[in-house]
Amino acid sequence: MSCPICNGITEQKFRPFCSKRCADQDLAKWLNGSYAIPSTAPEDIENALEEAQKTEASTPGISSVQH
C-alpha cells in the first residue's frame, strides 16, 4: 500500500500514511473542507444563494454581479 498523500511506502506507525507529516496534511484537508462533496440538492443551493446574498448585502463596497 502506498501513502495517499505522497505515494511513498507506508509505515506501520502512521498507516495508511508514510509519516506524521503526510497524516497531518490529510487532516488539514479534512478540516479545511478540501474533501467536501458538493451538494446538488435544490434546498442546499437555495440556502447557499441566500447566505451569499446576505453576506453581499452586509459587505459595503462589494458590487453585485447579476446573472
Residue 53 identity: Q
Residue 28's CB: how many other CB atoms inside 10 A? 10
| C-alpha cell read off for 18 | 508514510
* pLDDT per residue rounded down to tens, the chain (67 residues): 899 999 999 999 999 999 999 999 999 999 998 888 877 788 888 888 898 888 888 766 655 555 5
Global model pTM greater than 0.85: no
